[in-house]
Structure 1
Amino acid sequence: MQERAREIRTRYAEVEASTYGRSWTTEEIMLGFLGDVGDLAKLVQGKAGVRPRDDLDEALAHELADCLWSVLTLANAYDVDLVGAFTSTMDELDEALSEG
């Protein structure tokens, strides 16, 4: 997934450079992620019956994928080993839960 996210980010950077004269900064990618999280929150409300829409399941899956792409892209930008970080974080949480 990280490689695919990198490929798409590279293509976006090319479009941004031709459109805006430069590619997005990591701060701008983060702001885009925040917008996606807001959209995701509205879709979660939809699943709770507060904001229904006809294409809710499809839209929810799309927005979750958008959010994941942003996380993968930020991890790549900051050289974070996301697999390693996820594994160690889950191990820490598992240990904390086991300790009660």
Structure 2
Amino acid sequence: MDFQQMQERARAVRSRYAEVEASTYGRSWSTEEIMLGFLGDVGDLAKLVQGKAGVRPRDDLDEALAHELADCLWSVLTLADAYDVDLAGAFTSAMDEIEEALAED
């Protein structure tokens, strides 16, 4: 799956979530609430990283880590879409800047 397909799939999943939220809560989540959900996912990811270091072991660690990384990526894609950020372009620019700074060291 290429980046554009990932963005489109994230958008479709977000749309479905919005429908469920509207049905359950009477409105869809705001970008602030999506961000708070992302923070929760990052916390879960941190625990799984601890697990990889042997601090919080669990039987399904590799599967859970992959799932949580994907959840976090979905949140980033969703937030970028909500704020009309060209994430592919921004990523390319950021990596170019970092590589240039590293080359100067």
Normalization by structure 1: what TM-score? 1.00
Number of matched residues? 100
RMSD (Å) for aligned C-alpha atoms? 0.2
2:41 matched to which residue of 1?
A: 36
1:7 matched to which residue of 2?
A: 12
Q: Partners of 1:92 and 1:4 in 2: how far apart? A: 29
Query: Runs of 4 or more off by more than 2 Å in structure 1?
Result: none
Point out where structure 2 has 5 or more consecutive residues left out of the alignment: 1-5
Post-superposition offset of 1:51? 0.1
- Correspondence 1:55 to 2:55: no
Q: Partners of 1:98 and 1:3 in 2: how far apart? A: 35
Q: Percent identity?
A: 89
Secondary structure in 2 matching 1:80? coil
Q: Partners of 1:43 and 1:2 in 2: how far apart? A: 25
1:18 maps to a residue whose letter is S
